[in-house]
Chains A and B, each alone.
Chain A
């Protein structure tokens, strides 16, 4: 359910990152945790919104294939909508 660490690496906060893969002084742990928190929040919000749009009847013993597709489409269209609106805002400037 939670977005998990992609790698085990969590350099000590405040110490410079020696391996150089990020190429900057490292607060990697906080960056990673913040990214995961942002993703988890997005997933939570999207599930909330898309549940209301897609699950219109009383919950059954499994999700129907149309309900599952609706959920996937809903997430994809939401993200597209987000990009579209962002581009519109950028064009206004």
Chain B
């Protein structure tokens, strides 16, 4: 998670509540991102790995799901690097 860096010291009495507010905004954004990411990975890996639902998840299905999660995280890194290097300067 993003290490929270404190803003420069402020003479204003509002300093503390602004820090707290910024921290909360960052946390909420990170939370929203994590929830969406979770949902996407769940949907993708369920489609890939559980092709014929049965009365329980088989060992094969479970390990497929674990691998799928890791691969999806890897894919996110690849895409992220490709997007960032394509950004205009």
Contacts and interface: CB of A to CB of B under 8 A. Distances in A.
Contact of B5 (A10, A43, A48): A10
B75 A1 contact: no
Given A12-B7, A13-B18, A75-B82, A51 B49 contact: no
Contact of B80 (A43, A52, A74): A43
A36 B14 CA distance: 26
Interface string A34-45: 001101101110
Given A47-B72, A71-B75, A12 B67 contact: no
B9 to A, nearest CB: 10
B interface, size bucket: 35 or more
Nearest to B81: A72
B75 A3 contact: no
Given A59-B68, A75-B86, A51 B44 contact: yes
A76 interface: yes
Contact of A46 (B7, B12, B64, B83): B83
Contacts of B72: 47, 51, 59
Interface of B: 1-2, 5, 7-8, 10, 12, 14-15, 18, 21-22, 25-26, 29-30, 33, 36-37, 40, 44-45, 48-49, 64, 67-68, 70-84, 86
